[in-house]
Amino acid sequence: MSALREFGHPATYPKVLSLLRLKPGSRILDVGAGSGYFSRELARAGYAVHATDAPHGLVQFGAEGVPFSPCDLNGPGDLPFEPESFDALVCIEVVEHLENHYNLVRKCHKVLVPGGLFVITTPNILNLASRLKFLLAGFYPLFGYQYEICDAGGYFRPQNHISPCSYWQLRHSLHTNGFRIVCVATEKLRRSSLFLAPLIPLIWWRTWSDALKEDGKSGVGQRACKKELAEHMLSSAVLFGKSLIICTEKVSTP
């Protein structure tokens, strides 16, 4: 099983692994595990790994020795695990395939222990090159024309990325469902975004103008929230990163 397929950028996996920093034997759930490539890497790192994904996905799970439980991540039900069963969850390049990432976040919150880590990655649609492509073409990189196949019932099912999620969209779904962001990172800087760096002063001005604007609703807590949001939006990970990697901690019941 050495040829398990990677679905993320090769540099994404070691970056996510470095963010976990848990003691050996910690229980980790790989959500949307695909072929099981990262499940296998987590197991090799000494973690107690379980994996879940759609029962009839595009690839077959093949990580030997890693328990696998099928689950429709788009469905209304919970993940097939007891509450607070895991010390950490990883969700690599999954949310862009789902109809509702808020639903996924709520599912994940239930099975994570208080203080547990939830690391989620997705294509970064807010890097400068991605913003420029959206301006010119009307869609983001990796979210272009949707190729569809017709199943036996005559329904067309999209096979590509269908749900672009920005940093602030993911932040809202996480913060309103019992998580708090620990850090925002990326695995690689896009060269095409770096070429657009001369735009940074204008972006910096526009971002902070919005963040510091008083709207009559901004108390002390809200101002701190807007400040952190602006700092993250202006980080090199968001402005130049290929993938968006968000590490969060479970802090409360939503």
Query: What pLDDT score was predicted for residue 54?
Result: 87
Q: What is the pLDDT of residue 30?
A: 98
pLDDT given for residue 32 in this prediction? 93
The pLDDT, as a whole number, for residue 152 is 58
211 phi and psi angles, rounded to 5 deg: -65, -35
* Model pLDDT, residue 1: 43
Q: Degrees (nearest 5) of the Cα angle 62, 65, 71?
A: 60
C-alpha to C-alpha distance for 84 and 105, rounded to whole angstroms: 14
Q: What is the pLDDT of residue 3?
A: 63
C-beta separation of 164 from 133 below 8 A: no
The DSSP line for the chain is -TTPPP-S-TTHHHHHHHHH-PPTT-EEEEET-TTSHHHHHHHHTT-EEEEEE-TT-SS----TT--EEE--TTSSSPPSS-TT-EEEEEEES-GGGSS-HHHHHHHHHHHEEEEEEEEEEEE-TTSHHHHHHHHHHSS-TT--S--EEE-TTS-EEE-S------HHHHHHHHHTTTEEEEEEE-S-B-HHHHTTGGGHHHHHHHHHHHHH---S---HHHHHHHHHHHHHHTSHHHHHBSEEEEEEEE-S--
Token digits of residue 105? 């976040």
The closest of 13, 24, 159 to 91, measured between CA atoms, is 13
Of the candidates 10, 14, 16, 30, the one whose C-alpha atom is nearest the C-alpha of residue 183 is 16
CATH class as words, domain 12-126+143-190+242-250: alpha beta
| Ranges of the chain with pLDDT below 50 | 1
pLDDT at 58: 66
| pLDDT at residue 91 in the model | 97
Q: What pLDDT, on a 0 to 100 scale, did the predictor assign at position 224?
A: 87
- Residues forming beta bridges with residue 248, ordered by sequence position: 118, 181
Report pLDDT for 153.
55
